Amino acid sequence: MNHLSRLGTPILLLSLSLPAVLSSCTAKEPDLVLLCGSSFVEPTREICREFEKATGAHVETTIAGSEDFLPQVKTKSVGDILVTHDPYLDYTKKAGALADSVQVGFVAPVLVVAKGNPKGIRSLEDLARPGIKVALSDPKYSTCGEMVARLLKKKGIYDAVMKNVGNRLTKGHSRLGTLLVTGVVDAVVMWNGVAWLFRKKTQIVPTPYEYDHEIRVHVIGLNYSKHPELMKRFMEIAKKVGPKAFASHGYVK
């Protein structure tokens, strides 16, 4: 499995698992079943609201890691729509399950500091400054961590930054946000969509995109949909409102 399969955010899955269960218990039979990667719930809800308003149809959303949906896509057993990230569009094509797709955003690492940027951090290079307290995601468990580590090494500042990280390599991006908003650290690098969740007490420092690859987010129509006409209508609406919805939740690079 490609290392990008680790991109899903477990803490979002935990916090949003209840709505997923509730949606499956509604009395009305769903018109569409949407398989939603756990990092993309909020912007996907905006698309679903537009679809339901336009059609009167009911969407049931199942939330999990993208890797958890892959067996269902390969066997063409469950789902009409899939919201996921690279490389799962390629996996869907390989499974012969692709009807249509639209790119709606990007998952990207972003440099995040406390509101007002009290330490004056303007770039990744500033994370190497003596006395700056930093937290990063652990490359052993995180695609974001891998991308950041490679870039820091390319810039020749990896060792200096890691001195400022100390023992603050984390598994979860929510942990990075908590360390930042509680003042334990001065800066973190986390996924853009997770940074959006902490936006009231933090701010993203604009930096050039220098990572060696990009991770796109896709809404995918599945060709084994039990409701192909509604699936096509959903895709039309996703193409119209999806990029704006995802951008408004921080999924840009």
Residues 83 and 7 in one domain: yes
**Which residue range forms the structural domain that includes residue 186?**
109-205
Domain contains 160: yes
- Domain membership of residue 44 (yes or no) is yes
The CATH number for 126's domain is 3.40.190.10
Helix (H) / strand (E) element for 85: namely strand 81-85
In a domain, 253, yes or no: no
> Are residues 151 and 200 part of one domain?
yes
Smallest Cα–Cα separation from 74: which of 235, 229, 224? 224
- DSSP state letters, 33-63: EEEEETT-HHHHHHHHHHHHHHH---EEEEE
Residues 30, 100, single domain; the answer is yes
Let me know whether 102 and 22 are in one domain: yes
Give yes or no: residues 229 and 157 share one domain: no
Tell me if 100 is assigned to some domain: yes
Domain tally, the chain: 2
Q: Are residues 8 and 102 in the same domain?
A: yes
Residues 73, 189 within the same domain: no
- Is-above-0.75 flag for pTM? yes
205, 222, 240 — which closes off a domain? 205
Shared domain check, 51 and 27: yes
State whether 127 and 144 are in the same domain.
yes
Same domain, 138 and 228: no
Q: List average pLDDT for each run of 10 residues in the chain, which is 253 residues long.
A: 47 36 48 93 96 97 92 97 96 98 97 98 98 96 92 98 97 89 97 93 96 96 97 98 97 92
Phi/psi of residue 190, nearest 5 degrees? -140, 170
Is 16 in contact with 63 (CB distance < 8 Å)?
A: yes
pLDDT at 17: 36
pLDDT of residue 39: 84
Identify whether residues 117 and 29 lie together within a single domain.
no
Q: Are residues 40 and 133 in the same domain?
A: no
